[in-house]
DNA sequence: CATTGTTTACCGCAAG
DNA sequence: CTTGCGGTAAACAATG
């Protein structure tokens, strides 16, 4: 029985590095890429701690975005208003936090050297292009943004991206059975998402929906439509697609193994409220609220 | 002008 | 102890 106004943990500093936080933000969005302002917003929405001293931590965060190779910059399309680019995760940075600590990585993700540098580019480019393709095909021509789908391609991989919310939760707060998700069956719309998250993730707090307060958006709707997903940080070199990348795809599209279906609530067995649906729901919310 | 992005430098701390 | 990661400050460029 929740008590409103009880903030015990919520304004403490979350045990995550900026890199983790940023990655979470990016992961939480169906497009897997966000503009800077949205990353800020996500973090502030989720962690009250970061509603203060914004100058300080946002500077640090920007520093991280530029400094770490695990983040790549995706330019906006010309027809998309707004300042700054989108930020995405590099496809190969999946193992960065493999040691389970979101505070300190095992090692910094570094994009090899010269020749391999090209690979980074094409990897990222290809990956994001794939995403765009998926998006387009599943969108059909017109369906409104309600269209939500798990971008997961059906690939038999069990790998879960470390920044997928399901993973983060699973690691940090081992849930007693499915308790945290027990009420989750009805969340095909995503509105219960937060309660789930809060339960399992104490220092995460969203003032907008905690205890019944309506949700606010994580993203401004207009912007949800991504730009042409082509990374710009590394000047693109014409390298054909790298097959190896396919192996990494599922990692990023960390959804349920076979849901490429846009808006089909019935499908993914509602009786099994998995963290996956959690992620999915978050995604829904991300797009649908404006 | 405010925001976004890049870069350098320094410190503290944890891992090895 | 050394190394490397994370956090912070700060200067500065680019961009809307």
A266 lies in a domain? no
Query: What is the structure's pLDDT at A124?
Result: 56
Residues 27-56 of A with CB under 7 A from strand C: 55-56
pLDDT of residue A105: 72
Output the pLDDT for position A57: 97
Gap from A106 CA to B15 C1', Å: 9
pLDDT value of position A275:
34
- In this prediction, residue A240 carries a pLDDT of 31
Per the structure, the complete domain to which residue A92 belongs is given by: 1-132
The answer as to whether A206 is a domain residue is no
A91 lies in some domain: yes
Say yes or no: Cβ of A152 under 7 A from any atom of strand B: no
Number of domains in chain A: 1
CATH code assigned at A2: 1.10.10.10
Nearest nucleic acid nucleotide to A96, CA to C1' distance: C5
Predicted local distance difference test score (pLDDT) of residue A81: 82
The whole-model pTM stands at: 0.59
Inside any domain, residue A180: no
Q: How high is the pLDDT of residue A41?
A: 96
CA distance A78 to A82: 10
Q: Do the domain assignments include residue A244?
A: no
Is the CB of residue A104 inside 7 Å of nucleic acid strand C? Answer: yes
Domain membership flag for residue A86: yes
Asked if strand B contacts A40 at the CB level, meaning under 7 A, the answer is: yes
Q: Is the CB of A63 under 7 A from strand C?
A: yes
Return averaged pLDDT per consecutive 10 residues of chain A, 290 residues in all: 44 90 93 95 95 96 95 87 91 66 69 52 55 45 31 39 56 35 29 38 50 35 45 41 31 32 33 34 40
pLDDT at A160: 55
Residue A287 lies in a domain: no
Joined tokens for residue A52:
């203060």
Residue A55 lies in a domain: yes
């Amino acid at each position: 029985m929740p008590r409103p106004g009880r903030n015990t943990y919520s304004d403490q500093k979350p045990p995550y590095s900026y890199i983790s936080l940023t990655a979470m933000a990016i992961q939480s969005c169906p497009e897997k890429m966000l503009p800077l302002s949205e990353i800020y917003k996500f973090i502030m929405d989720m962690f009250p701690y970061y509603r203060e001293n914004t100058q300080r931590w946002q500077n640090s965060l920007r520093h991280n975005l530029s400094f770490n190779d695990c983040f790549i910059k995706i330019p906006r399309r010309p027809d998309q208003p707004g300042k700054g680019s989108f930020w995405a995760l590099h496809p190969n940075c999946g193992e960065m936090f493999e040691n389970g600590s979101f505070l300190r990585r095992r090692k910094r993700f570094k994009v090899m050297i010269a020749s391999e540098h090209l690979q980074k580019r094409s990897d990222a480019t290809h990956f994001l292009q794939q995403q765009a393709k998926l998006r387009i095909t599943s969108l059909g021509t017109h369906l409104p943004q309600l269209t939500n789908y798990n971008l997961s391609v059906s690939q038999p991989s069990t790998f879960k991206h470390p920044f997928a919310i399901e993973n983060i939760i699973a690691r940090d707060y081992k849930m007693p059975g499915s308790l945290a998700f027990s009420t989750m069956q009805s969340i095909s719309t995503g509105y219960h998402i937060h309660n789930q998250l809060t339960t399992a993730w104490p220092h995460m707090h969203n003032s907008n929906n905690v205890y019944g307060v309506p949700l606010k958006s994580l993203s401004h709707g207009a912007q949800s439509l991504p730009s042409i997903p082509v990374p710009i940080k590394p000047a693109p070199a014409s390298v054909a697609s790298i097959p190896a990348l396919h192996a990494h795809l599922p990692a990023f599209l960390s959804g349920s193994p076979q849901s490429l279906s846009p808006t089909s609530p019935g499908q993914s067995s509602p009786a099994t409220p998995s963290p996956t649906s959690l992620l999915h729901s978050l995604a829904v919310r991300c797009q649908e609220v404006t």
